[in-house]
Structure formats: structure tokens, C-alpha cells
Homo-oligomer: A and B are copies of this chain.
């Protein structure tokens, strides 16, 4: 049973380095989450437990992989930005993609009961992932603007939709019909006039999504309770002595489309 006789099959493992000098975005998406959210009776339009659970898993990733400099989450998806000079796993595509997907999934399943308490996990959620390279800062900014604008559009729709159903007594198909063709302004107006809800007073978590950054400042105004300790591994343990000076990951729910966020954190997009 000579291993060597068969070892030639390794020659079929081809190299897959990502282009140097580019920003790496890894986006993870929940699979079949419509059903998953029904089975586990998620609150509508947003389940804060689920959002906090994913924030925690994303924080775990940032604690584990220092090349991740920013993360943005909404609904059942999370995007991670690796710095332009990232050298994680020598920028091997499959290694980065599979490891981050696995680590995120593992954290979500592991931490389920922390957020869902007595609601048992019927079956574990799964995620798919993809890697996208962006050559310049402009495109990275626009990528995250795209995701946050998407958050806004979806959340506004869902907020009105579920108000119509839960408080307005409409069926789901009636609610869809009511909203058909409405503009953003109309939805704001409808929310306020019929349900006395000022959309802008809704929790920023739902309107803005979750923004994870490292912060060396005491993050008193931020949702720092989410910045949980990372999953320990060999690598993490060996760096324990430096842990005190490592900036904590904080979860924000702020605007990332305008310049202010980026101007205050030049390290994220730095070379």
C-alpha cells in the first residue's frame, strides 16, 4: 500500500492565488433562510436575536483574522473586507473562502442558544460564500454603499408590509398589492398616517444594518456588548500576550455611504 504510487493525483490541485494589490470582499449568504426563519419562528420584519447572533459570528471572524478590517451585515448575509495588502493563506482563494465560510457557520451554530435561549435549533443553518476582488477604493466604497442601500430599501418595504399585516389586518397578498408601485416617500407617509410610526425612529440596527470595525477607543456609545471574545485557536492562543493592545471589534449601526464614516477610519482603506 505505497502512498507514493498514488501521490501523483496531487498534481491536479492547481494554484489559485488572488491578484495582489486588490481589496478582497467575502460575502456570505444564508441558504434557504425563508424556511429556516419560519421553522424557528423569527419575529417579523426583523428578529433581533438572529441579527445579534450573526453579528457575534462576524465578530468571531474579525477576532480570528486580522486581515479583515470591516464587516457589514444585514438580514441573513454578511460581507467581509480584507485589506488590500492581506496575505492571509498567501491569498489562496479556496482556502480563504472555505475557511471563512466554515468559521462563520461554526460560530452561528455554536452560539445559537446564547441568543435563542430555550428555542431549540431544529437543524443548523448553512451559508454559501463568494469572493469578489475590487481594485480601488471607489469600488469598495460603492460595494458597501450598495449593501447598505439594499438594507434600507428592503427594511422600509418589510416594515410597512408587516405593519399592514400585523396591525392593519391585511393578508400578505393584500399587503403586497397595497405597496405595489409605491415610492419611498409613499411608504414613509403610509407608515406614519396609518400606524403612527416614524420610520426614522426605528432601531438603527434594522435601518442601517451592522457595521463591524476595530476600535482602539473605549467604545462607550457603541454596541460593544457584541464584541465578544473570539473562538480560541492555536493561532489566537499564541498571540494572547498581545491581546491587551489588540483593538476590540465593535458593532455599529451607522451610515457607511457618506464620507464621514470612512474619513474617520483611514486605516480601513489604507494600502
Contact = CB atoms under 8 A, between A and B. Distances in A.
A135 B15 contact: no
Interface in A118-153: 121-136, 139, 142-143, 145-146, 148-150, 152-153
Nearest to A39: B232
Copies of this protein chain in the complex: 4
Contacts of A101: 98, 101-102, 105
Contacts of A131: 94
Contacts of A104: 102
A124 B146 contact: no
Contact of A106 (B28, B105, B142): B105
A233 interface: yes
Interface of A: 1-3, 5-15, 17, 19-22, 28, 31-32, 34-35, 94-95, 97-99, 101-110, 121-136, 139, 142-143, 145-146, 148-150, 152-153, 231-235, 237, 257
A94 to B, nearest CB: 5
B124 A110 contact: yes
A54 B23 CA distance: 35
A101 to B, nearest CB: 4
3 closest pairs, A vs B, by CB? A6-B146, A106-B124, A135-B135
Contacts of A231: 123-124
Given A19-B19, A124-B106, A129-B98, A3 B149 contact: yes
A3 B135 contact: no
A31 B109 contact: no
A205 B105 CA distance: 28
Given A3-B150, A235-B32, A8 B130 contact: no
B3 A12 contact: no
A9 B124 contact: no
Contacts of A133: 12, 19
Contact of A121 (B7, B12, B110, B142): B110
A254 to B, nearest CB: 14
Contacts of A102: 31, 101-102, 104-105, 126-129
A161 to B, nearest CB: 18
A197 B110 CA distance: 40
